[in-house]
Amino acid sequence: MANGLFEKGAITGIGETAYTRGSGKSDIALQMEASLKAIADAGLKPTDIDGVIPYAAGAAVAEDFITNFKLPDVRFSATTPLGGASCVAAIQAAVSAVAAGLANHVLIPIGRNGYSGARIGSRVQQMPQFRIVGEYEMPLGTLAPAQLYAHMARRHMELYGTKSEHFGKIATTVRAHAAMNDNALRQEPMTLEDHQASRMIADPLRLFDCSLESDGGAAVIVSASERAKDMVSKPAFIMGVGEGHPDSPSTITQRDDMTTLGTAKAAPRAFEMAGVTHKDIDVAEIYDCFTYIVLCQLEDLGFCAKGEGGDFVASTNFKFDGDLPLNTHGGLLSQAHIVGMNHVVELVKQLRGTAGATQVKDAEIGLVTGYGDMGDGTVAIMRA
């Protein structure tokens, strides 16, 4: 079981739309555009797709892809409703499907108008997974992820001495990568002083600790590994995957340890399946809805012990040519909030050697995470 899905599947196609604030397109059109690019990148025809995992919180269902692409025989469809952890959870589901022979080429699309459509603050109340905080916390005025997650960050700071400057180092490093990426929304430089001067949103989270609201779509194709070897783009083989839900998954308030995410359960499974250690990771694309969530995941992934995230961040060079290259595309913080599918796409580019200005030299093995819905964590480890 330890290596159950080891290299059973590979990402064979990637696609992204332009990331904007004002796409002028529907959510569904963004997903179709990204999907067509991913299918073409894989050297497939749309009609080769026989599995679809639509974004659980999005507008499109599998039937939309069958209709638009005239798919003759979709044999596998599912959804993975884990908020920002959904995309990597969908990779786990897709690899399971291709490993079992249920499908050959599974399309995982995402696309939304997170800026010009329903924006973050108004959207959360309508999500069924937030029913519990919706009844007990939101009527008091604490309703947005920044507000709810701030309690985790404050607790971490009080217990372990973590500082806002640690969050700032993450924000400025990721911004520096966005500045080198033409398809990033925020390319102007950010200094630590800029970070510290940015307005308070939900203390201790400042504006520059928060991810962007943006429009765009991204998609990947997961294919059975034996087919991937003969396809046109260099495959990224999926070595290990893991999904984890924290205790008290629906409300942070009631969680015994609110400084630990579901990532802490997912990561050991992914590393064991992959048969690699942290030293083997050449590049890490870590879900960055908030800077604190990156720091916390670095602990829960095992790059450092719980409570040591501040010191680890302070002493690690996260630049693309540094110790542990982090969010080499600019992340949700500075490229765009594409629910982490932009992280998956970036990891595949890094492993192909096509990541452009922030290409990590000799990147062979990389890690991507998802995080969402109050603490769910997902991890995938891939190789070139």
Partner 1 sequence: MEIERIHPLPNPESQPYWDGLKERRLMLQQCGECGTIRHYPRPVCDHCFSMEVEWVEASRRGTVHSWSESHHPFHPSFKADLPTMFVTVDLEEKVRLVGVLRDPEATLRVGLPVEIRFEDSPDGAFSMPVLVADRSAGG
**Residue 118 touching partner 1 (CB under 8 A):** no
- From residue 249 to residue 278, the character string flagging contacts with partner 1 as x (rule: CB under 8 A) and all else as - is --x-xx---x--------------------
Closest Cα partner for 366 from 272, 228, 274? Answer: 274
Q: Name the minimum Å distance from CB 213 to partner 1.
A: 12
138 counts as binding partner 1 under rule CB under 8 A? yes
Question: Can you tell me the distance from the alpha carbon of 165 to that of 270, in angstroms, rounded to the nearest whole number?
Answer: 30
CA distance 150 to 203: 7
Q: Where are the alpha helices (DSSP H) in 275-308?
A: 291-300
Select the residue interacting with partner 1 from 3, 125, 126, 317 (CB under 8 A): 125
Can you tell me which of 159, 197, 232, 314 binds partner 1, judged by CB under 8 A?
Answer: 159
Least distance from partner 1 to the Cβ atom of residue 254, Å: 6
Interface size with partner 1, residues (CB under 8 A): 36
Among 26, 46, 137, 160, binds partner 1 (CB under 8 A): 137
Q: Cβ–Cβ contacts within 10 Å for residue 361, how many?
A: 9
**CA distances (Å), origin 352, targets 95, 201, 237:** 20, 38, 11
Residue type, 155: R
CB of 42 to partner 1, least distance (A): 40
**Does residue 136 bind partner 1 (CB under 8 A)?**
yes
Comparing CB distances to partner 1, the nearer of 150 and 348 is 150
Minimal distance, residue 147 CB to partner 1, in Å: 5
Q: Dihedral sign, CA of 228, 232, 236, 242?
A: negative
Shortest spacing between CB 156 and partner 1, in angstroms: 9
The yes or no reply on residue 204 touching partner 1 (CB under 8 A) is yes
Query: Is the CB of residue 128 less than 8 Å from the CB of residue 82?
Result: no
DSSP 153-172: HHHHHHHH---HHHHHHHHH
Our CB check for partner 1 shows the closer of 135 and 193 to be 135
**Residue 295 makes contact with partner 1 by CB under 8 A:** no
Among positions 63, 135, 321, 323, the unique one binding partner 1 when judged by CB under 8 A = 135
Minimum distance from CB of 308 to partner 1 (Å)?
Answer: 19
Given the structure tokens 């964590």, which residue do they identify?
377
Spatial separation of the C-alpha atoms in residues 214 and 338, rounded to whole Å: 8
197 contacts partner 1 (rule: CB under 8 A)? no
- Report d(CA 231, CA 223) in Å as an integer: 10
| Cα–Cα distance measured from residue 356 to residue 329, given in angstroms and rounded to the nearest whole number | 10
Site for partner 1, residues 310 to 349, rule: CB under 8 A: none
Give the length of the chain.
384
Residue 111 makes contact with partner 1 by CB under 8 A: no
Report how far residue 342's alpha carbon sits from residue 364's, in angstroms, rounded to the nearest whole number. Answer: 19
DSSP bridge pairs for 242: 379
Q: In terms of CB distance, is 207 or 276 closer to partner 1?
A: 207
Site membership for partner 1, residue 293 (CB under 8 A): no
CB 162 to partner 1: min, Å: 13
Q: For partner 1, give the closer residue by CB, 167 or 303.
A: 167
Instruction: Find all residues with CB under 8 Å of 255, minimum gap 6, and list them.
Output: 246, 247, 248, 375
Based on the shown chain and the rule CB under 8 A, indicate whether residue 143 belongs to the binding site for partner 1: yes
Q: Where are the alpha helices (DSSP H) in 238-316?
A: 263-274, 291-300, 309-315
Residues between 45 and 104 with contacts to partner 1, criterion CB under 8 A: none
Q: What does the binding site for partner 1 look like in residue numbers (CB under 8 A)?
A: 121-122, 125, 132, 134-144, 146-147, 150-155, 158-159, 199-205, 251, 253-254, 258
